[in-house]
Structure formats: C-alpha cells, structure tokens
Structure 1
Amino acid sequence: MLRPASTRWFEVLCPRRESVRTVTELARTGAVEIEIRDRVPADFLVQHLSEGLGAYDLLRSRYGRYWDRGRLRRKTLVESPDVVLERALARIEAWRHEADPLIDILQSCEEELTRLKWLAQVIGKIRDSTLDFGAVARSGPVLGTFCAVLPKDADPHLPDWVIPRQIPWGDDYCAMILGPRDRLDAVKHLVASVKGRVIERPPWLKGDARDSLARIGARREFLSTRVVHLKSELDTLFDEFDLSDTLGEVAGLAWFADHVGCLERAGEHLCWITGWTDDLRGERLEAALESSRTRALLRLTKPPPGKRPPQILDNPPWMRPFELFARAFGVPGGDEADPTPVLLVVVPLLFGYMFGDLGQGAVLVGVGLWLQRRWPEARLMVLGGVSAMVFGILFGSLFGREDMIPALWMHPLQDPVTLLAVPLIFAVALLSLGHLLSGLSALWRGELKRWLLQDLGFLVLYLGLIGMVLRPGLGWVAVAGLVWYLGGAFLVHRVLIGGLAAIGHLLESGMQILANTLSFARVGAFALAHSSLSVAVVTMADSAPLWAAILIMVLGNVVIILLEGLVVSIQTTRLVLFEFFNRFLRGTGRVFRPLPVPPAVVQEAA
C-alpha cells in the first residue's frame, strides 16, 4: 500500500471492422487508457467519416431533445463504421421527413403556451387594479397595445408618442404600452434591445380581465393536451424508424471519434488496441471481451521502450477517501511513498483534537453516514466525527457543556499549556515519519546510501535540537547529527563546493523544518478556540430563560459545527499538504486517465 502501483501495458489484436466495438467494450470497464506505440503505422478508422459524423452532430443538436425521450439500444456492431453511419443518416433523414411537420406544430404550441403563461401573469396583476383591460382589448384600429417586461435597471428610451402604464412586477419593470398601432414595432425593437420581453394580446382574446383569464386557461389546457398527443406521435415515429438501434450505434462511433481517433494497424484486416490498464490481472478486460463476443486476443506484457506507465494508488476501498490529499498534491511517482495509510490515522487525530466534543462529533458522524451513499469522500467526515467524539470524552465536552460528563484527560481551558504542547510533540513524530518515508523513497530509487550518509544525519540533528529543549543534557545528540550530516555530505560530494552547498541546504532545511514544527501549534490554538466558543454559548444559555436557553444551545451548536468544522477541515488539510508532504512527496507520477465511459444505452437482450 505504501508504494504506488504501475499500470500494465495491454495489447488487444482484433479485426479492423470490430475495432470500434472492441474499444467501446474495453472503455466500459473504466480501466483502459489508449496509447499507441511509437513509430508504428496509425490507422485512423473513422477519420474519413468526419463529414458524416459532423452531419450527425448537427442533427443531434437540433433533434436531441426528441431523441432523448427514447431508449437507445446497444447492438453488437458487426458491420463496418461506413455502413453503420450511412444507414443511420439515411434512416434519420427518412424520420425527419415525417417528424418535421409534427415538430413545427409542437414548437408552435409550446411557444404559444409560454406567451399565454406570461400574459396570464400580467392580467392577473391588473385584474383588481383601476386599469380597464376590457378597454385595452377593444383598442384599435388606430391604437394598439402590448406589455413589456424589462430588467429593473434597463432604460429603453421610450418615445414620447407612447403611453406606458406600470404594472407591479417584483424586481423587474413591467408596463402596458399604448401607442399608434403602425409604429409599435419600433417600440418592440427598443424593448428587445435591452433584453426585455414583449408580451402581446392575441386577437381572439376579448372581454375584461376575468373573462380573459378564463379564455387563456381554456386555451392553455387545449394546447397542453395537444402537446402530449404530438409527443406521443413523435415517440411512435421513433419506434417505427427503429431509431433506438440506429442512434445507439452512431453514438458509439461519435464517442470513438472524439476520444480515441486512431489505433495501430496490424495488417490489411487487423489492428492493435494498445495502452495502459489498472486491471493488473486483466480479469475485467477478459470478462468485457468475452461478454461482448468480440473476436479479440488480449495480452498483458512489458511496455515498449521509452513508455512511462501511469501510477495508481493501490489501497483498499475503505481507505480510498484519504487518497484525496495525495491527489491534491499530485500522483506519487513509482519511487515515492503513498501517504494514504498514514493519513488514515493522522487526519482524524488532527481534526478530532481541534474539534473535540462528543455531541458535535456524533452529529458529524450522522451527517457523514447519510452523505457517503452519494459521496464516498464523506467517510472522512465519519472518521473525523468519531475522533471528535473520542476527544470529546477526553475533554469532558458534550454539545459545548463541560459539566455533564467527566473529563478523562483535561478541560482545554484549564490546562492550555499542555493543550498547546501536545501538538508540537505530535509534529516532531509526524515530521520524523515524513523524513523516514523520504528514506524509503531513496531505497526505491537506489539512493539509500546517500540518504544514510546525509539525510539521516539531518534527522538526528533535528531530533537532537528538539531534545535539547526538553533536556539540555541531550545536546550531544544534535552535535552528533551535525557531524554526521557534514561528514556524509563530504563523502557524497567529495569536493569543497559540494560541501559548502550542503551547508547552505542544511541551513535552509533546518529553518524550514523548525517552522513546520511550530506551525502545528495552531492545532492547540484551534482546540482552545473551539472550547472558548462553546463556553461562550453555554454562558449565554445559562443566563437566559429555559426556552431561550434551549434555542441558544441549538443555534450555537449549529454555528459551531458549521464554522469550526469548516475552519478545522481547512487547517487539517493545510498541515497535511504543506507541513507533512513536503518532507517526502513530490507528486512526480503520471496520472492514469482512463477512457470516459461510452454513451449510456440499454444493452440488447441476448
């Protein structure tokens, strides 16, 4: 678990006419990244179909909302891409001939429904006002009216020969505009130029406001029924022209063109599908090829010379949420240690120490358990909450109160020195562990001798300096570490200038690790802040009547959980990334980027 795993090079030999289907099936595993070998003949399988695929994309952008109502079926793609695309475009064109008149009527009905919806809102605003909508409806033939809804800060500069009557309309400006009928088009253009909406009264709408609302309601009901029938007719056409199969096949071709493009030619009728997989035993790839009944041969082998494998973090599922921290820093290289197993302990300890409360920690556990079904990373909240509960028992804190359960260790505000000192001791242990992990990386790189001669001496020097603070008699350890480091640097470089550079590095690294150590004092400081805020809430509650005390305790704990939870999470992340990781992690690994999953379609029954 400590060492990242390298993905394996895979090679699949298959017929050219089945290559698109084979790649699609492999991609459905989420375990392959396509990469062809250097200096080999490339086979651009669908490049000559770019014009046809472009035509499909245009059709998709226009008719996609109607196609998405159906269910796409994924058939076994036994024919060549040329045949599939040609047949699909012909079938879509035949469908268009029948569907376009229905779509035109459908869109007209939907547009009228939208206009009537807005008009009903306008009439509803003026129904009980002094404005006589019946008179508006009877206007003409010289005068005309329309309604305009404008953004609040818009100024369309309406001409003097129109009369606007404002209508209450929330945050926007709405007005009924009266003017010469033959000149109103110019006013409508002014409204549209400031992103306003023009709402017109249809000629059939007569009567006062109440009669008009009744007529609009009847018309909208008729149009809604008509829309349902039209969509049903389009669904019938979708099935009659068998677009479920056709679009399912073309969607696969379009996905291949976007995400793969070319493969490696292996002759006139064969091609290679090559790349990297995180299925280290090939079991998922074998199962995918077998279930799809493709005529393909799979082998896992050594990568070609010069190819650098992507790295993956090989951790159990319950540990993977903690990979979030390492991935934020970059993927560890093959010669770097994966800190995930260490973070399984470190992150909850840091979080719980700063957020120690039994009740508030239980709330985080409950929320984390509820969220982890949709967001696996919420397990971090669960473990952080468990740690907060443990420290809450040690600190004797339950929803901010320290008078309900006994403290098994201490009350933070009663012993602030110990509370601040413990994180510093923890920092020394954690930073030393980080230094040892750098030694593990040196072992994997074949540089263990250099690390033992020089870097291990630096670790001894650091521990010696820390020991001097606790016990002045341990100064000899720091001296031994300094001699060890300088002597090792001379043995490694064997030149004077190399030794001088090592001294400069020693000064820089020494100042850095001391700053890293002192930075952990913030853990105790935030633990004190959390306790102080809880005491403030409890003090206010104790001085208030019972009903107010309950309200203060509930709202106070909600604020503490939200505010302190966010702040403590940020501080934990900062300490891990910038104080711990910089001891050993560089993030030099290549990221594994598997092919995206092909379009989601319904599998055809066998």
Structure 2
Amino acid sequence: MLLKPARMSRERIIISKEHRQPVITALHDLGVMQIEQLPENVAEMLNKSDDLDYRQISDYDQKFRSLESMLYKYEPKDKYSMEDTAELIKKADSVTITERVAQITREMASAEAELKELRDTMNLLKRMPHTRHDLAIFGTDKIASFLVEGRDLQKFNSEAHKEIKECVILKGEYSTIASISRDSEKEFGNYVRSMKLSVEAIPKMSGPVSANEKLIESKISESESKYEALKSELTNISEIHYPLVSAIREQLDLEMEKLDVVSKFGFGINVIAIEGWVPEEDLHRLRSALKRITNDGFIMEKIHTKELPPTKLSNPVTTRLFEFFIRFYSLPKSDEFDPTLIFAVVFPIFFGFMIGDVGYGAVMLLGSIWLLHRIRHPPKKSHIPKPISKFVNTIISNNGLTVLAKSIMPGAVIAIFLGVIFNEYFGFQLPYTAIFNVETGLPTLLLVSGWIGVAMVSFGFVLGFLNNLAIGHKKHAVGRIGWLMAAWGIVIFGLAVLHKQPLWFPNYSVVLAYFLLIGGIIMFLVTEGFESLMELPSLISHILSYTRLIGILLASVILAQVIDFIFMHSLTHSIPLAILGIVILIVGQLFNIAIALFEPGIQGARLIYVEFFSKFFSGNGREFRPFASRRQRTVSTVKDEQLIQR
C-alpha cells in the first residue's frame, strides 16, 4: 500500500523433524521470516529436545576461520554447493592442509622476527663510531655497552664519566658508544632519559665490525631465501585451496547462524514449531518452498496477535535511497504512514527552491556525478590530501556519500530550472527578462511560502487523522481534526488582518475563522487534555517557519550579487585591483556554493522533520530483521526466482 510499510503476518510453521535441516536452510536462503521466540503456552506443549550437534559445527567453524586467515585470498571462479551438514562435514574433512599451513605460518613468523633482529643489528653496526677493536670487548658478563644518539650528545660525552661510575666512552661524529658496569645500568638509564637521548643496547658479538657485517649479510640472505620459499609454498597452497576453504567457512558460519536461531524453536518428539513475522507479499513464496521441501507435509497458519509487527519499508526503487533520511530521523512503526515518498518529493523541491540559481545548481549536479564516479571507480592515486579524505571518511562512509550525492541531484536539477525562471547565473543576469524576479517579487514569494506552510501542516494533520482512524484511535483522530480546524481558523483570520478586512460581520470568512478556531480548540482540548493548549503558539510558528524558504533564497541571491558587484567594479580600476576582484569572485562564489549546499539541505530536512512529521509521525519502529545473510562463495538452496531482494 502506498505510504505504508509492508503488511506483516505472524505465522506458525509445524514440520516433521526429518525435514528440519532443509527447512531451516530454505528459511535462511529465502530471507523472508523474522523468527521469534515461541509463546510460553506453545513452548510448554513441547519438550524442547534438540539433538543438533552444536559442538561439532562450532569446532569446525573455529578451525576453518583460523585456516582461512592464514591463507592468501583468491577470488573463487565458481561457487560451491553443499546440500546438507553431512556433505559440509565431508568436504571439511577432505581439507588436509591445516597442519602444514600452520607450520608454514609459524616458520614465516620466526623468519620475519629473525630478519628484523638481523637488520636492526646491521643498522646498529653502520651507525656505530668507527672502531677496529674486537666487538667482544663491548659485551661481557661484567660490561654492557650502549649506542647513544641525540641532540645533547656533546654534553653527554663531556659529562657522562662524571655522572656514571666507570663509564668508558668511544666518541663518534653522530653517535657514542658508552661502556659501563652492569651494576650501573639502572643509574645509566635514568641519566640518559633525563637528557632525552636515544639509547640502544649493543648485543654480544666478536670480531671486527667488517667481519660481523659480512656474517650478518650472509644470515640475512639465508633468512630471506627461507622466507621467500615458505611464502611461495603458501601461495601455491592458497591458490589451490583458498576458494574451497573460504566456501566451507562461509557455510559453517551459516550453520552457526542456524544453530543460534534454533534456540527459538519448539521441539516435540517428532515435530518442530517455528514462529515469526513474514511480509504478506512473500507468504506464497514461503509456502511454495515448504511444499517442495516437505512434499506438502507441513502446517502453516496465521497467528492473530495484538503485538505490533516489525517494520519493513516498501518503497519504489526510485525513492528508496530517501529511506536513509527517514531512518536517520526514526523508523516508522508498522501501523503508521511511511513518509519516505513524501520526503522524496518535497525535499528536492525545497532544496532547489532555496538555491534558485543555474550556476550553483549545475556545480552541485556535476559535483554529485563526479563524486558517484569516484566512489564507484576510485583512482589508484588520489590528489586529495590524505588528512582531508580521512577526516571525511570518519564522518560519513562511502555509502552515506553515495546517498547524499544521489539525493542532491534532483534538487540541483530543480535549482537549474528555477534559476532559468529567476534569471540567476552565479548572481549574474543574462540578457533576457526574468519570468519572475526574486527581489521585486518578494511579497509574492513570501505569500507562496506561507501557503506552502499551510499545505504541509494541513497535510500532516490529515495524515495523522487517517492513521489514527485506521488503527482504531478515534479519540486521537478527532484531536487531529481539531488541530486542522484551528490551523485554518488562524490562517483565515491572519489573511483578514493582512488585507485590513473587517474582523466581524459582514465579513463571513472571519466569522468562519472564529468558528474553526474555537471549535478546533475545544476538540483537541477534549481529546488531548488542557496541556495541549500550550502547543497552539507552535502551530503558528510552524506555518510561518516555511518563510525561511524565501529567506535562504534571498540571502543566496543578494550575497552572489554583492560578490559580482565587487568583481565588476574592480575591473574598471588598476590591474592589482582587478586581480583582487577575481580572487574575491572565486573565493566568494565558492563560499556561497558551500552555504547553498549545506543551508538548504539542513533547513529543507528540518522543515519536514519538525514542522511536518510532528503532525502524524511518532516513529521508534522495530526494524524487520529476517533470518538471512548473503552468500558469496556458496550456492543458495532456493532458486533465483524465489529469492527476495534484501
């Protein structure tokens, strides 16, 4: 139904235990049922005996998760099919590479650690002061030596022997070797920390520096060869086995999900009871799958309950992206209106109206197209500074940027269309007469914005009336009519004051306004209580709030014209002033574009969220979460034509 979430039905399914595995798999792959805990009165009739082997599946799942993490990733060419748990376990047992992969991983980690240690030692030798001494003298049972570096090295060289007992120093141009008694290590450490020097312990070695460098180079070469051989072997194993391992891991994850949801089932001696919410449009699909799997040996019945169903939004593809804004505000309950379609129509109009400039609209349209292309086809090397891109990604994901870009595009098109009518091109006017001038037509625009406010507020009250009436809240429905009458009473009275008309007979419209206002106040006082009278001033402010559409439009137009005025007059003076004028034009227009992007977006959404939604929308709905997950490496057990978009 238009403007309503998908209609839901609570269903109970009873199947034979022999069909348990294929039915659970089909429910998962169909993804149409949010499985709920069985009611106590039903659960008490069943003994809940469940003979599923949780431990076996869990052990296999952990094993293959670990194995997959050790292998290099390769995209599978084909998907794997595993009909049941027995076939899954059989394929899992056929994978015999676990021990060898674990051994290779350990040996690679050991080789990496050894390489790091050797390279660190080589780096230390190259930074040491030149010495021909046998390196054995720098590390004995009684002597420890350290390579010292830092800004205050000269001060250290001149004072260390005074501060540290028995400290022997070998000075170099950029570093110093300090040899101390092992009993003085703590004292030495405190001293160099106080001077903020860099200290590195010299390991025990023997022989001259050149001999040690050759030895370490040889060991590095040997370790690198060993590491590369291990990596090559792991690459070959991964290329052959990763697709199957990842498919088994995915299927094991799915089996674990199934085991988790089984806790909500009811188990009898020979039967299983499953209960949950299903969209009515998917009931036929579910029945067909169950009939095929069980050979028509199942019971499926509708459960009548007063519990509010979960919410599944059901909108046309063209407006589905605007669900993001509704969810951002609040998910509607399943028994109230889904305002996504209204938002999808109204928001772009408000956004484009508040911009009203061909140039700004074109920049936003082209910018949105560029952003979408960049997200779908990211460049190998970005020219955008990393801090900026990282900051943007911390605020909003690529999916959020995609939604924002797509939502801006229709508003940008409307801005271009209205810009042609207003003859506004970055604040400049082309040589044709505007169909409508923003500045001279300001009174008319204010009147239009006022009527937009009346229409939106009235429409909100009408939706509130219809929604309350549909769910049986007749008292609240009457209250919405009372507010609608009061709103129109205020509007008619306000128009009479603006046009300086008589405020009593023979002006029958004003008399009607009094009747509507007083009658409306009585109706919502009776239905909603005396405290609701406090909301009457907000009703007036909500209607007048829509004049901000004109305020933002006018501010953008005037700011653009001021920037253009400064630029044009700078051209008639000196070259430096002309250059300054060009800078002001570019920076000023970019600033105005930024304002035109954010301010209409924020204010347009606010006018819908606050002034419109408050008349009928309560939100706080419970999202429909079907028992399902996406398969990437395994084949679904349900035919493609039976799958639901999710």
Structure 1 length-normalised TM: 0.74
The partner residue of 2:616 within 538, 562, 584 is: 584
Match of 2:395 in 1: none
* Other-structure match for 1:465: 493
* Structure 2 CA distance for partners of 1:445 and 1:395, relative to 1, 3 Å: same
- Does the alignment pair 1:524 with 2:550? yes
Residues 132-162 of structure 1 deviation map (CA, whole Å, 9 limit, x = unaligned): 566599744425456999xxxxxxxx99669
Look up the match of 1:153.
Answer: none
1:348·1:383 contact (CA, 8 Å) conserved in 2? yes
Q: Give CA deviations for 1:402-455 in whole Å, capped at 9, x if unaligned.
A: 35665321144x555555554233212211111121222233134287358734
Conserved? CA contact 1:133–1:208, under 8 Å: no
Question: How many Å apart are 1:35 and its aligned residue?
Answer: 1.4
Letter of the 2:603 partner, please give it: Q
Instruction: Give the corresponding residue for 2:603.
Output: 571
SS at match of 1:440: helix
Matches within 5 A, 1:545-556: 553-556=585-588
Q: How does 1:47-446 map to 2 (within 5 A)?
A: 49-52=53-56, 55-56=59-60, 59=63, 62-67=66-71, 69=73, 74-79=80-85, 95-112=97-114, 135=131, 139-143=135-139, 144-145=145-146, 179=179, 207=210, 222=225, 225-235=228-238, 238=241, 243=245, 246-258=248-260, 260-265=261-266, 267-278=268-279, 280-282=281-283, 285=286, 301-369=301-369, 375-376=402-403, 378-403=405-430, 406-412=433-439, 417-446=443-472
Post-superposition offset of 1:22? 3.8
Q: Give the CA deviation at 1:481.
A: 0.9
Q: Distance in 1 between matches of 2:225 and 2:466?
A: 75
Deviation at 1:316, TM superposition (A): 1.0
Partner SS state of residue 272, structure 2:
strand
How far does residue 231 in structure 1 lie from its aligned partner after superposition? 1.8
Shift of the 522–270 alpha-carbon distance from structure 1 to 2, 3 Å rule, reads same
**Percent identical residues:** 21
Give SS of 1:75's match.
coil
| Matching residue of 2:520 | 485
Give the deviation of 1:278 after TM superposition. 3.3
Contact residue 351 and residue 568 of structure 1 kept, 8 A: yes
Give distance in 1, aligned partners of 2:27 and 2:457: 43
**d(CA) in 2 for partners of 1:341 and 1:369?**
23
Equivalent residue letter for 1:516: H
**Whole-Å separation in 1 of the counterparts to 2:93 and 2:579:** 74
- Is 1:27 the counterpart of 2:23 in the alignment? no
* CA drift at 1:351: 0.9
Distance 2:470 2:173 in 1: 76
The offset of 1:582, in angstroms, is: 0.4
Contact kept in structure 1, 2:17 and 2:272, CA below 8 Å: yes
The alpha carbon displacement at 1:521 in A equals 3.1
1:533 corresponds to: 559
> Aligned partners of 2:173 and 2:634: how far apart in 1?
52
> What CA distance in whole angstroms lies between the structure 2 residues aligned with 1:286 and 1:370?
46
Moved more, 68-77 or 533-542: 68-77
- Give 3-state SS (helix, strand or coil) of 2:281's partner: coil
After superposition, the C-alpha distances for 1:159-213 in whole angstroms (9 at most, x for unaligned) are 9669899999xxxxxx998555968998999999x9x998988979965999999
Which runs of 5 or more structure 2 residues have no equivalent in the other structure? 140-144, 151-159, 377-398, 503-508, 640-646
* Residue-by-residue CA offset, 1:208-239 (whole Å, 9 max, x unaligned): 99999998996786466335313225427847
Letter in 2 for 1:450: V
Q: Which moved more, 1:442-451 or 1:522-531?
A: 442-451
Q: Secondary structure at the match of 1:561?
A: helix
Structure-2 separation of matches of 1:566 and 1:435: 29
How high is the TM-score relative to the length of structure 2? Answer: 0.70
Return the alpha-carbon distance in structure 2 between the equivalents of residues 16 and 133 of structure 1: 80
TM-aligned CA deviation for residue 510 of structure 1: 1.6
Q: How far off is 1:565 after superposition?
A: 0.8
Q: 1:90 Cα shift?
A: 6.5
Deviation at residue 95 of structure 1 after TM alignment: 3.9
* Secondary structure at 1:274 match in 2: strand
The code of the aligned residue for 1:235 comes to S
Higher mean C-alpha deviation, range 394-403 or range 99-108: 394-403
Letter in 2 for 1:593: R
Shift of 1:468: 3.0
Preserved CA contact (<8 Å) 2:36 2:276: yes
> In terms of Rg, which structure is larger?
2
Distance between the aligned counterparts of 1:253 and 1:393, measured in 2?
A: 60
Q: Residue 350 of structure 1: CA displacement?
A: 1.4
Residue identity matched to 1:319: T
Structure 1: gaps of 5 or more residues: 150-157, 169-174
The answer to whether the Cα contact below 8 Å between 1:29 and 1:285 also exists between their aligned partners in 2 is yes
Using the TM superposition, give the Cα deviation of residue 347 of structure 1 relative to its aligned residue in structure 2, in angstroms: 0.8
Match of 1:562 in 2: 594
C-alpha separation between the residues in 2 aligned to 1:346 and 1:410?
A: 23
Alignment match, 2:478: 450
RMSD, aligned CA: 5.1
Q: Could you tell me which residue of structure 2 aligns to residue 37 of structure 1?
A: 38
Q: Tell me which residue corresponds to 1:171.
A: none
**CA deviations over 1:285-308 (Å, ceiling 9, x no partner):** 4687799x7878788753343443
In 1, distance between residues paired with 2:432 and 2:61?
66
Question: Amino acid of the residue matched to residue 461 of structure 1?
Answer: G
Partner SS for 1:525: helix
Report SS of the residue matched to 2:356.
coil
User: Any conservation in 2 of the 1:464–1:475 contact (CA below 8 Å)?
Assistant: yes
Tell me, what secondary structure is at the counterpart of 2:436?
coil
Would you say the 8 A contact 1:142–1:180 is kept in 2?
no
Q: Separation in 2 of the partners of 1:592 and 1:232?
A: 43
- SS at structure 2 position matched to 1:407: coil
AA aligned opposite 1:427: G
Structure 1 residue 511: deviation in Å?
Answer: 0.8
Task: Identify if the C-alpha distance between structure 1 residues 483 and 400 changes in structure 2 by more than 3 Å, giving closer, same or farther.
Answer: closer
